[in-house]
Amino acid sequence: MPSELRHILFRPSEVVQAIREYQVRMQQPLPHGYVVDCGPETDESSGALRFRMKIACDEDKPSSEPRTVRKELVIQGPTLAAALILFCRDRKIPLPASADKSLQRFGEQIGLVTTYNPRQGVMPSGNQIRM
């Protein structure tokens, strides 16, 4: 059976949307505000991919004026993958359930890489193909 390899690339704004939707489903919504900076990062020692977001949000204090506070969030690989998979499902982007899934960085984009039915090794001996 043939193997299939797919790369689905997500722009930073799509990753932010995927994370927002995922966190709402997990009943842990992101702070209210707007994203002022975001992007993928790769850990130099382990090579693990993560996504960093800086959110500017208004913080109300009873005795003072509202002030803008910046919160920084780092979304690690497993949570990031789950958010992107959910994003695809919600938008009816087909993903084989049994495919191996991984994340790769493509510049400022994040790629969800699916590998379905990967072949191991070479053709068994005795199975020659005549042309």
77-90 vs 12-25: helix crossing angle, rounded to 10: 90
Per-residue pLDDT at 123 exceeds 60: no
Phi–psi pair at 12, nearest 5 degrees: -55, -40
Range list of β-strands (E), the chain? 4-10, 34-42, 49-59, 67-76, 100-106, 109-116
Per-residue pLDDT at 63 exceeds 70: no
Residues 12-36 have pLDDT tens digits of 999 999 999 999 999 999 998 999 9
Three-state DSSP class for residue 17: helix
